A and B are shown apart, each in its own frame.
Chain A
Amino acid sequence: MNIDDALGSEIHLKIIRFFHENQASIDTPRGVATWIREDRSKVQKALEDLVGLNILIAHRAPSTTGYSYTQANTVLSKIEKFLKRRKGA
């Protein structure tokens, strides 16, 4: 999966949109699933895909994993452009 694939997948896009709108957020798979109203197991898998693409950062602890948004400007601006284009379409 690459960034374009992720932006083309509904659940991945919902997660990206959530973190793009709430860039200071750090949340667990359960929390993210609640905010985007999706199934937790699907969200968990998608979150790991996005970590692999450096769109999200995983903060791993024995009891849970917190996910937060990238601070990489190249990734952020690519997503920003995509979301603007999509909103305009």
Chain B
Amino acid sequence: MVEELKAGEYQKELFERLRKNIDLKREEECFGACLHQSMWWLVEKKHPKPNDILKAVSSGCPSCSKPENKVCIQDLHNAIQRSAKDKALTKFICKEGKRGFVYPIAQGDALYGYIGACYASEDVSPQILDIFAAFTDTIVKEVQKELELSKLYETVRPRAIALSTVHTVYRLISSTLDLNELLPRIARLSLQIIRANRCSIKLVDSTKKLLLPKATVDLRAKKAILKKVAVGKFAPGKAVKFGRPIRGNNYLATPLIDEDVIGVLTLYDKVDGSPFSAFDQEIMTTLAEQAVIAIKNAQLYKEQEKLTMGAIKALAAIFNARAPGTYLTRASFLRIAMIMGQNLHMNVAELKNLEYAVLLHDTGQLVIPEEVLSKPTKLTGRELELVKEHPSRGVEIIKHIGALKSVIPYILYHHENYDGSGYPKGLKKNQIPLGARIMAVVGAFEAMIIKRPYRVAKSMDEAAEEINKNSGTQFDPKVVDVFMAVAKRKDIRSILEREEYEYR
């Protein structure tokens, strides 16, 4: 450790600590009488000149501090030289006949300075000096240990903080699977870590010839300009082409490498105007490795979502094939449900589940005979039982798709009533999942305004009024309030009117 530090800096800090060391002061007090009230001093240099010695002892020794006593200083200087040579405690007698000694402060072969005493009235016994040397050694070793620990702390702390930053960044970028959220987040975090003004993330297109801008964050501009770049052109293009970072004074392009190069993360203009360094490049290479994993995960998740949505749409299409234009969930009802979910503070995953559930909510009607579904007269007891089974029948169908597991409660309970009078379980109030409570309102609205073979459709206002009338009994009042506000929106009205025309 000591070798790593500059020797001069180490020596200076060692002596600063020795001068302040409480144990050394105590030693001076304890040994005061034994050493015949001698004056103590510390000399910081390995080969001090007489002036250095004079400076160290002048405030303490009445003899050495006299300007005429140059010889006294010379005696001390000689003793220090002998002590340096022997690396041992060396006694001396000064011009005024006073006794003293010098003891080297060393660690291994390295000699840093001396502790000494002079102006003792009598000679000090060798036994006392042995004890003094042992005590001093212990104190010096303790101080050296403290110093090394402090240096170690100073060296390790910034690295530990940097490591903690890397860990935090990893947690932040691994917590989202939405590319639209992930890429700007990576860009912002990169700007923070490197203290740069602009960050741009570009991904390689399917032809592998172009880099498409996906996220740009510029601290100086309100609106970032997004530009395509050809692979091989400019710093980002070159980083992708050669698969290694490209660094200039005011830019640093780091390729995003998985099995192949999937994109590039480029930083521009450090905030303090300094050039990008090799250290910045190292940090960004580490961050890029983490970013690639997060980007690949998000891309895979998106693919899986597409697959799931494809499967759902296929199911819905099969269902619709039985009675075209009758049971297929219309875009307007899906939109109403999604806006209600957002206004009721559902999170991203819950909204996704709601979307799937709205599309699949009546899948269970597949197993109900067509004549029952389209019967224009009142249903018999058995027929009504069959209809009431459709939520659980729907669950039976979709339960085989693992990705839809969390959608099941929404589908199973979308015919439950707020007062407990619904089916299949007779759940009440908050026992019914929020998604199912939303679907109950939207489903009822849908059923009332769409023409059926067996009844006349209500107008939108009449249907909304009917929903409002059943607030607190059939429907959750909180959900009804949100629905009433959404149903009044002009954009929703126009979509509903347009669809009514299309489906007519």
Contact = CB atoms under 8 A, between A and B. Distances in A.
B is bound to A: yes
Interface stretch (B158-166, B240-248, B297-305, B481-489): B158-166
B169 A62 contact: no
A59 B189 contact: yes
Contacts of B158: 22
B171 interface: yes
Given A24-B195, A26-B192, A26-B193, A59 B172 contact: yes
Nearest to B192: A68
B471 interface: no
Contacts of A23: 195
A66 B169 CA distance: 8
B191 interface: yes
A41 interface: no
A44 interface: no
A26 B176 contact: no
A26 B283 CA distance: 13
Contacts of B171: 28, 61, 63-64, 66
Given A68-B192, A71-B195, A59 B161 contact: no
Interface in A1-42: 22-28, 31, 35
A57 interface: yes
B169 A26 contact: yes
A24 B169 contact: no
Nearest to B196: A71
A63 B175 contact: yes
A24 B175 contact: no
A26 B165 contact: yes
Nearest to B193: A24
A30 to B, nearest CB: 9
B175 A62 contact: yes
B346 to A, nearest CB: 14
Contacts of A24: 162, 165, 192-195, 283
A57 B162 CA distance: 17
Most buried by B among A28, A64, A66, A69: A66
A22 B161 contact: yes
Given A23-B195, A24-B194, A28-B168, A61 B176 contact: yes
B219 interface: yes
A89 to B, nearest CB: 21
Contacts of B271: 71, 73
Most buried by B among A26, A28, A35, A62: A26
Nearest to A60: B172
Interface string B142-172: 0000000000000000100110110011011
A31 B172 CA distance: 14
Contact of B164 (A27, A57, A62, A73): A27
B214 interface: no
A35 B271 CA distance: 25
Given A59-B185, A73-B271, 10 more contacts: A24-B165, A24-B192, A24-B193, A26-B192, A28-B171, A63-B171, A64-B172, A64-B175, A66-B169, A71-B195
Interface of A: 22-28, 31, 35, 57, 59, 61-64, 66, 68-69, 71, 73
Give 5 closest A-B pairs by Cβ, nearest first.
A61-B175, A68-B192, A66-B168, A31-B164, A63-B175
